[in-house]
């Protein structure tokens, strides 16, 4: 049976082993019962996907829901810290503003339209092939073979992982695209 605590604070200081009232003696019964929001959550380690620093994250999941993201103190890179972007990555999963459909604004259009993914992919493929065909350079002004396409460039985002960047670079090289850059280098 749990020992009943004296109500009078001074008595608690004298009997709880907390004479300076810096710990348990300063707590009310209500605060003693409080538990942290993440107390019963499952913790998974992850890496912030936003930039090339790759800070370590702790993801707290409770009732199948992501409830908190914090810096991982065990990460040798970030040692428990996250910048404001990294601390807000929960919104990438749960924000009500998250987009699930392809948005398209046609030339001179004033509104965003929703496209199916298949239609958007077909449009991208058609434009890549057309631009490549129209801007292809086989030789330079001295007649030297160059076989390149200056009409298409790529600026990758920091959320791309190594494998995605690898596949993209292979594709661009196969297409003769030489202007390839990534935001993570900025
Ligand atoms: S966006 Fe911020 S938290 Fe995320 S990896 Fe970069 S510096 Fe770290």
Question: 111-161: per-residue pLDDT in tens?
Answer: 999 999 999 999 999 999 999 999 999 999 999 999 999 999 999 987 788
- Ligand 1 mean position to 52 CA, how many Å? 7
- The answer as to whether 103 is a domain residue is no
52 with 89, same domain? yes
Ligand 1 pocket, residue 50 CB under 6 Å: yes
What is the rounded CA–CA span in Å between residue 164 and residue 8?
Answer: 64
- The answer as to whether 99 is a domain residue is no
What is the rounded CA–CA span in Å between residue 99 and residue 163?
Answer: 24
Give the number of other CB atoms < 10 A from CB of residue 82: 22
Ligand 1 pocket, residue 54 CB under 6 Å: yes
- Ligand 1 mean position to 184 CA, how many Å? 10
Ligand 1 pocket, residue 48 CB under 6 Å: yes
pLDDT at residue 12, rounded to an integer:
85
Q: Averaged over 74-103, what is the pLDDT?
A: 94
Residue 62 has pLDDT above 80, yes or no: yes
125 with 157, same domain? yes
Residue at token pair 């330079």: 140
- The answer as to whether 67 is a domain residue is yes
- pLDDT confidence bin for 85, thresholds 50/70/90: very high
Report angle CA 22, 23, 26 to the nearest 5 degrees. 80
Range of the domain at 29: 1-34
144 with 163, same domain? yes
19 with 56, same domain? no
| Best of 82, 91, 160, 161 for a ligand 1 pocket test (most atoms within 8 Å of beta carbon) | 82
| Best of 56, 57, 77, 78 for a ligand 1 pocket test (most atoms within 8 Å of beta carbon) | 78
- Ligand 1 mean position to 147 CA, how many Å? 38
Taking only Cα atoms into account, the Rg of the chain, rounded to an integer number of angstroms, comes to: 28
5 with 30, same domain? yes
- The answer as to whether 111 is a domain residue is no
173 with 132, same domain? yes
- Separation in Å, CA 128 to CA 6, 42, 139: 77, 45, 21
What DSSP letter does each residue of 143-170 carry, written as one string?
S-EEEEEEEEEEEE-TT--HHHHHHHHH
- The answer as to whether 75 is a domain residue is yes
- The answer as to whether 147 is a domain residue is yes
50 with 86, same domain? yes
pTM: 0.65
- Ligand 1 mean position to 44 CA, how many Å? 18
29 with 49, same domain? no
User: What residues contact 115, with CB distance under 8 A and at least 6 apart?
Assistant: 101, 102, 103, 104, 123
Q: What is the pLDDT of residues 1-57, one digit of tens each?
A: 455 666 788 888 888 889 999 988 888 888 888 999 899 999 999 999 888 788 999
**Conformation bin of residue 63: beta by default, left when phi > 0, alpha when psi is -120 to 50:** left
- The answer as to whether 105 is a domain residue is no
47 with 28, same domain? no
pLDDT at residue 52, rounded to an integer:
78
88 with 143, same domain? no
Number of domains present in the structure of the chain: 3
- The answer as to whether 110 is a domain residue is no
- Ligand 1 mean position to 167 CA, how many Å? 24
């Amino acid at each position: 049976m749990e020992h009943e605590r004296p109500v009078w604070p001074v008595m608690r200081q004298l009997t709880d082993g907390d004479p300076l009232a810096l710990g348990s003696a300063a707590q009310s019964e209500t605060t003693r019962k409080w538990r942290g929001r993440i107390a019963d959550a499952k913790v998974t380690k992850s890496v912030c996907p936003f930039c090339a620093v790759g800070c370590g994250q702790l993801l707290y999941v409770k009732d199948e829901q992501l409830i908190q993201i914090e810096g991982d103190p065990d990460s040798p890179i970030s040692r428990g810290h996250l910048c404001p972007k990294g601390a807000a990555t929960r919104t990438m999963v749960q924000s009500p503003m998250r987009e699930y459909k392809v948005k398209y604004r046609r030339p001179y259009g004033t509104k965003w339209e929703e496209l199916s993914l298949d239609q958007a992919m077909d449009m991208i493929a058609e434009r890549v092939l057309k631009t490549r065909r129209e801007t292809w350079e086989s030789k330079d002004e001295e007649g030297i073979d160059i076989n390149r396409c200056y009409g298409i460039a790529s600026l990758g985002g920091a959320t791309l992982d190594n494998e995605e960047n690898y596949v993209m670079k292979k594709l661009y090289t196969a297409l003769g695209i030489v202007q390839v850059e990534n935001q993570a280098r900025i």
